[in-house]
Amino acid sequence: MTRNLLYLLMLLLFPSSVFADEWQDAYRQIEKSIVAPTFPEFTVLITDFGADACATALENQRAINRAIRRCSRKGGGRVVVPAGDWNTGAITLLSNVNLVVSKGARLLFSADTQLYPLVETRWEGMDLMNYSPLIYAFRQVNVAVTGEGILDGQASRTAWWPMCGAEKYGWNESVAESQKYGSRSDLLRMNDAGVPVKKRVFGQGKGLRPQFLQFNQCENVLIEGVTIINSPFWVVHPLLSRNVTMRGLHIENSGPNGDGCDPESVDGMLIENCYFNTGDDCIAVKSGRNGDGRRWNHPSRNIIVRHCQMANGHGGIVIGSEASGGVSNVFVEDCTMDSPQLERVVRIKTNTCRGGIIENVFVRNVRVGQCKEAVLKINLQYEPREQSELGHYPIVRNIFLSNVNCEKSRYGAFIDALIDSTNVYNISVTGCRWNGVTEGGNLLRGMMHDVNFVDVKINGETCP
């Protein structure tokens, strides 16, 4: 048994007596294993390769990608975007390259879908060939996006967002390219049938919007300092990658499926000192959906989130819903959350189509002004009417919350477990103060055991 697993076992056996010390020891072991990449001193400017503030998006796209290729061939270094506005299309990162977006610089990504070639990617946990993410790296080592500038996806009610098929985001009958016409369900059927990825060709006409930044099967990744706004879809998406550091980001994305960060089948990730204001989950840990998640069988694990601030979002810290490969060893501490539009603080969601084992989640010292629904939400009946093979019973166990305090919510804890199987257990909530709970307490439905509330007060009264 590894040292890390031994610590986790001790936590499970003796949560009240050794929680703080052993939590810290296991946490430190994971922290030490996550190391941000470094880069050679070699530096090139995108203007040296033809980029120009007055150029078209296609011209600048070609220039930026030329600069990245040259830098990588020279052994790596920094590709610098200087101050100014730069229209562009999809950018492809290569090994040993740090794309530096300088203070005063704005990369403005075009909504022209012709500038986003088909690449191997994943959409809502399902593998496919689709539009390239706005910034994309595939099977690269030592890659980064850093700086004090702005990345603007320019998605809005007139560009990208209408493809989701919802009128509130600009969709109407004149929108020719939309997932409303069945592309999402087509992909789900291909997933369930095990169709090879190279034959799952989407892109033009299908309406499946790209992520902003995706690091697919990469190792040693750094995203630091930049402001990211107006993403077509998920914002930061490390996928099947190892050793990822994300720090000091400011993320604003009010669009549909506007998740701030989605670590998916990631092994080793640090998220710190980031701000999230999103139209969906702020941070959502995932590991693939249904057949694809089970075929890869690659859990997300060893993730640390600390010193972050969450405003709007469906959830602050979320696990799922695409968690078929499992999630383990997630540590969250010293975060603040506050918004009437923040629906939950800690949320776990899956169902009997998606399955997955979700375990060893530790959350402490989180301060919440208000959230809309619940401080802790565990839902094993999320989207129950999926057209997929049933019988993949999820397990949620070993969830620990300590000193997670909230001043306003509808419920304290809301657990919606299965009615025919006890798959939620060993849930420990200690030392929490939940005030302004409008429904007066916790809502626990379905079969579960070892769900314990110790020194928890709801509206000033000790939780039974």
| CB distance 122 to 239 below 8 Å | yes
Exposure letters 75-103 (e unless 16+ CB within 10 A, then b): ebbbbbbbeeebbbbbbbbbbbbbbbbee
DSSP SS3 for 286: strand
Whole-number Cα distances in Å, 25 to 6, 31, 246? 11, 10, 22
Catalytic residue among 152, 237, 267, 314: 314
* Residues in CB range of 13: below 8 A, 6 or more apart: none
Taking the CA atoms of 280, 282, 286 and 288 in sequence, report the sign of the dihedral they define.
positive
Q: Can you tell me the distance from the alpha carbon of 303 to that of 267, in angstroms, rounded to the nearest whole number?
A: 7
Would you list the DSSP string of 49-102?
GT--TTS-HHHHHHHHHHHHHHHHHTT-EEEEE-SEEEEE--EE--TTEEEEE-
* Residues in CB range of 39: below 8 A, 6 or more apart: 76, 77, 78, 96, 97, 98, 142, 144
298 is catalytic: no
| CB distance 243 to 268 below 8 Å | yes
**Among 157, 168, 151, which Cα is nearest to 235's?**
151
The DSSP letter of residue 133 is: P
Catalytic residue among 127, 259, 280, 416: 280
| CB distance 437 to 458 below 8 Å | yes
Looking at 116-231, which runs of residues are DSSP E strands?
Answer: 118-123, 126-131, 135-138, 141-147, 150-152, 213-216, 219-224, 227-229
DSSP SS3 for 32: helix
314 is catalytic: yes
| CB distance 315 to 284 below 8 Å | yes
Q: Can you tell me the distance from the alpha carbon of 387 to that of 187, in angstroms, rounded to the nearest whole number?
A: 12
Report how far apart the first and last C-alpha atoms of the chain are (Å, whole number): 37
The CA-CA-CA angle for residues 258, 314, 364, to 5°, reads 115
Q: Can you tell me the distance from the alpha carbon of 79 to that of 66, in angstroms, rounded to the nearest whole number?
A: 10
Query: Which residues carry out catalysis?
Result: 280, 314
